Structure 1
Amino acid sequence: MSEVARADRWRGRRRNASWLAGLAGLAAVGSLAGTTVAKSLTRRVTADDPHRDEDFELLDADRSCIVTTSDGVPLAVREVGPQDAPLTVVFAHGFCLRMGAFHFQRLRLTEQWGPQVRMVFYDQRGHGQSGSASPDTFTVPQLGQDLEDVLTVMAPRGPIVLVGHSMGGMTVLSHARQFSKHYGTRIVGAALISSAAEGISRSPLGEILRNPALEAARFAVRYAPQAVHHTRGAARSVIGPVLRAASYGDEKISPSVVAFSERMMHDTPIATLVGFLHALEVHDETEGLVTLAKIPTLVVCGDRDLLTPHEYAEAMAARLPKCELVIIGGAGHLVQLEQPEIVDDALVRLVERATPSKLVALTRRLRERVRNRV
């Protein structure tokens, strides 16, 4: 055997040994993290449940279609409102969620905006009902390109407002960086909810990401897909409890809302979960803020958000001269599910500032006058 062959074999054995050791470590660390953080989660659920009878699958009944990305990934899309509405609002969801994360926005804003606004929702690649993709494409720049594909098919004409939550906000920022010419012309407003322009290495999730044990799951997803099932439970035991515990800040959160968000997280494929972790840690889309500075913007964050703390929101807002900053007291990372009324009101104000006509604002005022008379 040649020296080169011996060296390759040695490196292969060393890599496999490291992977197996990492897998064992992942299980141990995951068990500890799951136990510790789950205890925190149990303190954040109340017996009172105002959303006990909520239909969280409402979006599934809306008009649907498939948008195929430039690299061939089918994205599940839903829309509500007239196709010839004066304005289109497009929603991009966050990590380990799906379009249903905007359930309360779809419910309230459909009534609020009426025929003046069409809302478009879609599942990001690897999430929800959208297709899987190569782990190499699980990057924030790719998500920005996916958003452009959605806009090209679903909103080829007319003004657009973009709304992104968490990783969806990073998607908007990436799109702004890559397609800046659309901003101030077709794209007239943008909202960044519980998001960050740079990697989240300083958050609790960032600390977990630096755990060497997660390399086992990353290795399996990229190089040993047949072994992914061995890492599934361990990886979820590390990341899952952190995501769940950081989702809400108020102890009075509805158990049904908690169950819904946990279901979205649990249904996310392990390859997607692990594949996007590195992207969240290292992304840098601060250049997108330069583009967003041209248009009316909204930045929203809960003051108990552990994943993208309000300091991130304040830093972004400081660079956006046409920005409204909304920090919601007592809310965690899933602020649009926890405090939907405040988020919805802020989105209404954004649209009124961003729309090139006054039709949306006028419709809202007329509807409110009618309600006041009843």
Structure 2
Amino acid sequence: MNGRAGWLAGAAGVAAVGSAAGMSVARSLRRRVTDDDPHRDEDFELLDADRGCVVSTPDGVPLTVREVGPVDAPLTVVFAHGFSLRMGSFYFQRARLTEQWGDQVRMVFYDQRGHGQSGDAPPETYTVEQLGQDLESVLAVMAPRGPIVLVGHSMGGMTVLSHARQYPQRYPTRIVGAALISSAAEGVARSPVGEILKNPALEAVRFSARYAPKLVHRSRGAARSVIGPILRAASYGDEKVSPSVVAFSERMMHDTSVATLVEFLHALEVHDETAGLKTLNKVETLVACGDRDLLTPVEYSREMADALAKSELVIAGGAGHLVQLERPEVINDALVRLVERATPSKLVALTRRVKERVRSHG
């Protein structure tokens, strides 16, 4: 069988497995149709209007960055998003925490390489190790001084762990706190979707993404037929999740290129950033997840929390992988507690005062 025939056979295999996976999750997707949509009027593209710039990595990849809050705020909180998403996945955190913290905290958001408005990169650079280095590039430009709290969701949590492993000298001198949301310290092959992710047909698409990029568009539908149903089924746990939120997250996933999807899927399977936990032991941490998460099941979070001396473990009942979109109030409250634990007493007092002011006007 020549290379092209093998590739086409692989793509056909992807389609076959994809349709089987699709059928297995179809029921759960159907259950989530609801007329109740409290977020119908939300502008999920709000972050696009924030102050922005581009940070170039040492290997020349432009990363799109947005920031909210004063440049001279006493604390900077930096958010790293997850696989197949973009910075907009922190929409509810940006909205609520801007009110919560006022001018005491600056929030920085960025799109990971190959995602959102950031540039594509050579497929061989789509690794969790590289993402840790990209985070360091963002920090060097956006937060060269002052205390920092890192917040990572899913692959973004792995990014934080990767950064902690590679740059331990930054903890706790600069980085005073970290949140790992719906994440894992090592490969997700143990999760319920692990077997599907090991499908050899996906490997064929990955091969073509690297070595025959012009052919990748032919595998686009096939690859999505495997990956799409998995991501959709894992995203939410509650049957009553807002249709507008679901549509927004599916838009983010659909806008992510197939090359990015298959390369980072592989990276998530094989990564091991457990060494980063030792570094995070030096700072206050939050470990959070939903108890219906199929991609990074709750035991991953329990294991990380057990390894972190200064951690708070938060488990959102009924929530799936996109817990910060599905149960934002739980995550927002936990992030407020993290910042209060991690920051100097002066800032803690100020944030409490802001909170009391908000309550008194409520």
Partner of 2:194: 206
Q: In the superposition, relative to structure 1, how do residues 371 and 215 fare at CA in structure 2: closer, same or farther (>3 Å)?
A: closer
Q: 1:68 aligns with which of 27, 31, 56?
A: 56
In the aligned structure 2, how far is the partner of 1:96 from the partner of 1:370?
A: 35
Contact 2:147–2:174 under 8 Å retained in 1: yes
User: How far apart in 2 are the matches of 1:337 and 1:373?
Assistant: 26
Out of 78, 86, 92, the position equivalent to 2:66 is: 78
1:238-253 correspondence runs (5 A): 238-253=226-241
1:32, CA displacement in angstroms?
2.2
Question: Is 2:339 the counterpart of 1:356?
Answer: no
Q: Is the 8 A contact 2:290 2:321 kept in 1?
A: yes
Structure 1 counterpart SS, 2:64: strand
Note the C-alpha offset of 1:18: 3.1
Q: Which amino acid letter does the alignment assign opposite residue 216 of structure 1?
A: A
Instruction: Report the secondary structure of 2:38's partner residue.
Output: coil
Equivalent runs, 1:292-371 vs 2, <5 Å: 292-369=280-357, 371=359
- The answer to whether structure 1 residue 235 and structure 2 residue 223 are counterparts is yes
CA RMSD of aligned residues (A): 1.2
Identify if the C-alpha distance between structure 1 residues 71 and 366 changes in structure 2 by more than 3 Å, giving closer, same or farther: closer
Change (3 A) 1:258 1:291: same
Secondary structure (helix, strand or coil) at the match of 1:84 reads: coil
Q: Contact conserved, 1:88 with 1:160, CA < 8 A, in 2?
A: yes
| Contact 1:352–1:358 (Cα < 8 Å) also in 2 | no
Verify: 1:58 aligned to 2:46, yes or no.
yes
Task: Answer whether contact 1:44 1:249 (CA < 8 A) is retained.
Answer: no
1:264-317 deviation line (CA, Å, top 9, x unaligned): 000001110111111000000000000000000000010000100010000000
Q: Would you say 1:23 and 2:15 are equivalent positions?
A: no
2:100–2:354 Cα contact (<8 Å) kept: no
Query: 1: distance between equivalents of 2:114 and 2:336?
Result: 30
Correspondence for 2:118: 130
CA contact (8 A) 2:40 2:244 kept: yes
How far off is 1:368 after superposition? 1.6
Q: Please, which moves more after superposition, 362-371 or 258-267? A: 362-371
Kept in 1: contact 2:101–2:354 (CA 8 A): no
Greater displacement, 78-87 / 208-217: 208-217
- 8 Å contact from structure 1 (residues 81, 117) kept in 2: yes
1:19–1:215 Cα contact (<8 Å) kept: no
Tell me by how many angstroms 1:367 deviates. Answer: 3.7
Moved more, 23-32 or 134-143: 23-32
For residues 130 and 92 of structure 2, the distance between their equivalents in structure 1, rounded to whole angstroms, comes to: 27
Provide the rounded CA distance (Å) in 2 between the counterparts of 1:363 and 1:27: 52
Q: Is the 8 A contact 2:13 2:201 kept in 1?
A: yes
SS in 2 for 1:201: helix
1:91 aligns with 2:79: yes
Deviates further, 31-40 or 150-159? 31-40
State the 1:104 CA deviation.
0.1
Shift of 1:26: 1.2
> How many pairs were matched up?
362
Q: 1:261 to 1:366 in 2, by over 3 A?
A: closer
How far the C-alpha of 1:373 sits from its partner, in A, is 5.9
2:151 aligned partner: 163
Give 1:34 deviation, angstroms: 2.1
Gaps of 5+ in 2: none
Identity level (%): 79
Q: Which residue of 1 aligns with 2:33?
A: 45
Post-superposition Cα deviations, 1:314-351, rounded to whole Å, max 9, x if no partner, equal 00000100000001110000000000001000000000
The structural deviation recorded for 1:220 is 1.1
Q: Secondary structure at the match of 1:317?
A: helix
TM-superposed deviation, 1:36: 2.8
Larger-gyration structure (1/2): 1
Q: How many angstroms apart in 2 are the aligned matches of 1:18 and 1:191?
A: 43
**Paired residue for 1:5?**
none
Q: Tell me the distance in 1 between the aligned counterparts of 2:105 and 2:358.
A: 19
Distance 2:64 2:316 in 1: 31
Alpha carbons 2:132, 2:159 under 8 Å: kept: yes
| Structure 1 residue 212, shift from structure 2 partner | 1.4
